[in-house]
Amino acid sequence: MAPPSPASDVERLAQGIRAGDRTVLSRAITLIESKRADHRGTAAALTQMLLGVTGKAVRVGITGSPGVGKSTTIDALGSMLTRQGHKVAVLAVDPSSRRTGGSILADKTRMARLATDASAFIRPSPASGTLGGVAAKTRETMLLCEAAGYDVVLVETVGVGQSEIAVADMTDFFLVLVLPGGGDELQGLKKGVVELADMIAINKADGDNLPRAKLTAAEYGAALHILTPASANWSPPVVTYSALKGDGVEALWTNILDHRQKLTASGELAARRGEQQVKWMWAMLEERLFAPLRSDRALKAALPKLEAEVAAGRLAPATAVEKIAEILGL
């Protein structure tokens, strides 16, 4: 009896995903995340086969400083949505996992309700890789989740720096969470992150925190007022809510749907997604081109000394690049 062909394997995976089989979905995501050359081809064939049943989900990016309550917010929002009949997938972009050895989402106890909800699917980011690589895998994972029937995808940025931009570039709506009492420093949030926001939400707006939350909302409202909105069809609102108590969580979703309706009607959502698809293509190509460089034995052996000499000021970066190119035969 002949062994099953790769084409039949892809078809079986696609059928299982379309049927909403969580075990098959997890296996397919592991395939997507694999660095093996033969797996890459199978993964590409799978995403191509499923492309026609993707793209219908509401894609929401969520960021915020440590301690702001991202996990609690995702748990509260996701649980509310599953009660309404939605299927919710939670993904992460965590470039820092290379150092920590795992993703923040590995601790699913922070999302206690969603972790046991049959209508929810939680997946941490790949355990290693560059930001571009992790983001590219998360994008492909998003497509698989959509094909499996998840109509809301929440993408959490748990890393630092450029991860916010990466998440904004793969979602329809970018939600920035902050704490009451941010003051003039805007809690250290970079101006660029505020400019990316489609909505700013002040969490923990309950009890004694409520007056401070309202004051913080006013401060962020003033900050947004002097910025040019990223979209001509949407002015980012500033809202207050309490993830722990559930107060105001429904308003978060109402704003997300309002944004979706306005950008869909104007054609901006379709245009934005088209641009994102092209960015995804380039990110995956860059990752593919750099992969052989990172695995080259001669380069691995030479890099520590080269990096040390550049850091010490004994070797110019341009000279180091020439030496690296010589090792690689470029």
HEC readout, 146-162: HHCCCCEEEEEECCCCC
Residue pLDDT, tens place only, 164-198: 888 899 999 999 998 887 554 454 555 677 788 99
Structural domains of the chain in order of their starting residue, each with its CATH number: 1-53 (1.20.5.170), 54-277 (3.40.50.300), 283-328 (no CATH)
* pLDDT score at 245: 92
Pick the range with the lowest mean pLDDT from 69-73, 159-163, 185-189, 300-304. 185-189
* pLDDT score at 198: 94
Pick the range with the lowest mean pLDDT from 3-7, 70-74, 273-277. 3-7
| Burial 241-254, CB ≥16 within 10 A → b, else e | bbbeeeebbeebbe
Residue pLDDT, tens place only, 102-141: 444 444 557 889 999 999 999 987 766 667 677 888 899 9
Q: Using CA of residue 196, residue 253, residue 201, residue 246, what is the dihedral sign?
A: negative
- Provide the mean pLDDT of the chain: 85
Contact 135, 281 (CB under 8 A): no
The whole-model pTM stands at 0.86
Question: Of how many residues is the chain composed?
Answer: 330
